[in-house]
């Protein structure tokens, strides 16, 4: 940007410090020169730094301040001067000096020590101790001492700014009681960049620039013909990281919105379920590998839960197929195995529970859920043992496989995936069954998300009590959520690395 334009954008505080930025300057110094408070000066420094006009660096240093005695002696003179002045017109006793100079006992004692050391006084011990001034003493009286000169400096002073000749007085005064104090502070050194130096020399606009638009300016009409300070939108400002929802939660909110807008009702339920609801009601045989400990997390305590009376119908289906025309799985169905408590392995458990609560008059009905499911799996870049599933069912006498594809396509288009692929698969509870993939056009490959299908009569007959096609799907969301943020490892979604969380853009589809 041109200097002229920058100048027009400057804040009044920036204008106030710029004239002193022709070279390196300490913040404290800058405050003094510009007559700004440290807070004001710092703001101006920050803004100019954002514009690339200066750099600020911090260093620890020491600051010298006057102590209580220092302030007093600055007004009244140092005790040794007052001592000498008291005896300038003739020798005196200690009591007389004390009265004339207005000094305390301890101050008198210190004066005796220092003045003797400087050969400024002569002490004679007759019947009474008397003190007389020497030639050297008169010479000292004639001009201000180094200490006195030092006290007249303007405080606070940085120890680093002390000259050779100051050092002696400084160390002398430091030894005495509360004349000066030393405080550790952090100093800021401000160094103008080339741009800063140019700005420092640039003529500030002479006409008045209005900084704020107030009701008074508006109503009085004074705004007419005035120049207003422009906002500089190109300025590089520090980024602010405010609070936000977890990125996965942002995505889940959006996913829920899609289904709600498509007329689906939300299903909710506990993450702890019995094997009955999670598996048996879905016609998963009791000896199915998915029921093994290495696939499913079982609850230790309480290890068993209640199963509903509906279980008698489910038992029949498992053992002989009931009236569905199926032969079932054969063998004996165990109530005990069905009662085992586990962490739900899929949200399809919510669909089973929902079906069991529906009656014919509720049809047609559409339900979805978004929730955590748990699988005892080895974790790697594309597997988690805890993942978010999107579940859905459509219970409608008219529903068919084409509709299933239609719902999935609609959902994934809104998730940013135009291409959905369905492949034959197998699940104990659906027929036909299909695997669902979406096409990742950036990485040019298909992403496997989960399964879908139409529930078998072995599932719907006992749960619904009547026959009706039920379209169903259950899809893992982490892979596409991770893909949105260009993370190739889904574990990164839950790393909770603060820097990553701050930098991830908001979910916007």
Residues that bind ligand PHE (CB under 6 A): 346, 348, 427, 430, 450-453, 472-474
Residue 374 C-beta: closest distance to ligand PHE, Å: 11
For 64, other C-beta atoms within 10 Å of its C-beta total: 23
Residue placing its CB nearer to ligand PHE in the complex, 417 or 429? 429
And the tokens for 361? 């008059």
And the tokens for 155? 């405080």
Residue placing its CB nearer to ligand PHE in the complex, 168 or 298? 298
Residue placing its CB nearer to ligand PHE in the complex, 250 or 278? 278
Residue 45 C-beta: closest distance to ligand PHE, Å: 58
Q: In degrees, to the nearest 5, what angle opens at C-alpha 23 toward C-alphas 22 and 27?
A: 105
Q: What are phi and psi of 187, to 5 degrees?
A: -100, 150
Residue placing its CB nearer to ligand PHE in the complex, 78 or 475? 475
Q: How far is CA 50 from the centre of its chain?
A: 21
Residue placing its CB nearer to ligand PHE in the complex, 417 or 427? 427
H or E element in which residue 99 lies: helix 94-101
Residue in the block written with tokens 């001592």: 83
Cis peptide before 364 (omega within 30 of 0): yes
Residue 429 C-beta: closest distance to ligand PHE, Å: 6
And the tokens for 215? 């009701």
Residue 398 C-beta: closest distance to ligand PHE, Å: 19
Three-state DSSP at 280 gives helix
Q: Between the CA of residue 47 and those of 12, 28, 29, 196, 500, what are the distances in Å?
A: 11, 17, 18, 12, 27
Residue placing its CB nearer to ligand PHE in the complex, 101 or 349? 349
Residue 292 C-beta: closest distance to ligand PHE, Å: 16
Cβ 252 vs Cβ 388: under 8 Å:
yes
Residue placing its CB nearer to ligand PHE in the complex, 18 or 355? 355
- The Cα–Cα gap between 299 and 78 comes to 84
- The Cα–Cα gap between 230 and 189 comes to 29
- The Cα–Cα gap between 507 and 482 comes to 11
Q: Between the CA of residue 474 and those of 251, 292, 391, 448, what are the distances in Å?
A: 17, 21, 4, 12
Residue 430 C-beta: closest distance to ligand PHE, Å: 5
Residue placing its CB nearer to ligand PHE in the complex, 151 or 358? 358
Q: What are phi and psi of 342, to 5 degrees?
A: -150, 165
Residue 475 C-beta: closest distance to ligand PHE, Å: 7
Residue 377 C-beta: closest distance to ligand PHE, Å: 12
Q: Which of 184, 181, 172 is nearest to 58 (CA)?
A: 184
And the tokens for 177? 């009681």
Residue placing its CB nearer to ligand PHE in the complex, 4 or 372? 372
Residue 459 C-beta: closest distance to ligand PHE, Å: 10
């Amino acid at each position: 940007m041109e200097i002229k334009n920058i100048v027009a954008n400057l804040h009044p505080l920036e204008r106030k410090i710029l004239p002193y930025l022709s070279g390196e300057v300490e913040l404290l110094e800058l405050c003094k020169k510009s007559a700004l408070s440290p807070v004001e000066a710092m703001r101006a420094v920050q803004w100019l730094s954002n514009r690339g006009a200066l750099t600020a660096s911090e260093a620890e240093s020491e600051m010298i301040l006057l102590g209580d005695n220092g302030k007093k002696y600055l007004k009244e003179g140092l005790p040794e001067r007052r001592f000498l002045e008291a005896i300038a017109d003739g020798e005196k006793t200690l009591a007389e000096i004390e009265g004339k100079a207005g000094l305390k006992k301890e101050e008198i004692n210190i004066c005796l020590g220092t003045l003797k050391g400087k050969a400024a006084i002569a002490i004679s011990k007759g019947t009474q101790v008397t003190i007389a001034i020497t030639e050297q003493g008169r010479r000292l009286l004639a001009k201000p001492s180094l200490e006195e000169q030092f006290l007249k400096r303007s405080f606070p002073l940085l120890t680093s700014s002390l000259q050779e000749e100051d050092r002696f007085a400084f160390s002398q005064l430091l030894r005495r009681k509360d004349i000066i104090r030393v405080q550790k502070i952090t100093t800021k050194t401000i160094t103008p960049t080339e741009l800063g130096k140019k700005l420092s020399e640039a003529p500030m606009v002479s006409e008045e620039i209005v900084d704020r638009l107030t009701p008074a300016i508006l109503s009085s009409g004074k705004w007419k013909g005035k120049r207003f300070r422009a906002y500089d939108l190109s300025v590089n400002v520090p980024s602010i990281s405010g609070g936000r929802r977890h990125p996965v939660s942002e995505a889940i909110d959006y996913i829920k919105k899609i289904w709600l807008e498509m007329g689906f009702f939300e299903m909710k339920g506990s993450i702890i379920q019995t094997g009955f609801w999670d598996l048996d009601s879905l016609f998963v045989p009791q000896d199915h590998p998915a029921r093994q400990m290495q696939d499913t997390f079982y609850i230790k305590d309480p290890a068993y839960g209640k199963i509903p009376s509906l279980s008698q119908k489910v038992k029949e289906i498992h053992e002989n197929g009931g009236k569905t025309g199926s032969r079932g799985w054969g063998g004996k169905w165990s109530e005990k195995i069905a009662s085992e408590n586990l962490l739900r392995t899929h949200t399809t458990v919510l669909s089973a529970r929902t079906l069991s609560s529906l009656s014919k008059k509720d049809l047609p009905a559409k339900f979805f859920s978004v929730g955590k499911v748990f699988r005892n799996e080895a974790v790697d870049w594309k597997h988690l043992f805890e993942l978010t599933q999107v579940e859905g069912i459509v219970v409608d006498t008219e529903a068919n496989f084409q509709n299933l594809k239609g719902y999935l396509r609609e959902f994934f288009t809104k998730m940013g995936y135009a291409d959905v692929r369905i492949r034959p698969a197998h699940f104990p509870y659906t027929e036909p069954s299909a695997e669902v993939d979406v096409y990742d056009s950036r990485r040019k490959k298909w992403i496997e998300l989960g399964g879908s299908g139409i529930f078998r009569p072995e599932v719907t007959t006992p749960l619904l009590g009547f026959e009706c096609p039920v379209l169903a799907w259950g899809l893992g969301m982490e892979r596409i959520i991770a893909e949105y943020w260009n993370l190739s490892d889904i574990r990164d979604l839950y790393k909770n690395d603060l820097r990553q969380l701050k930098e991830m853009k908001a979910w916007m589809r």
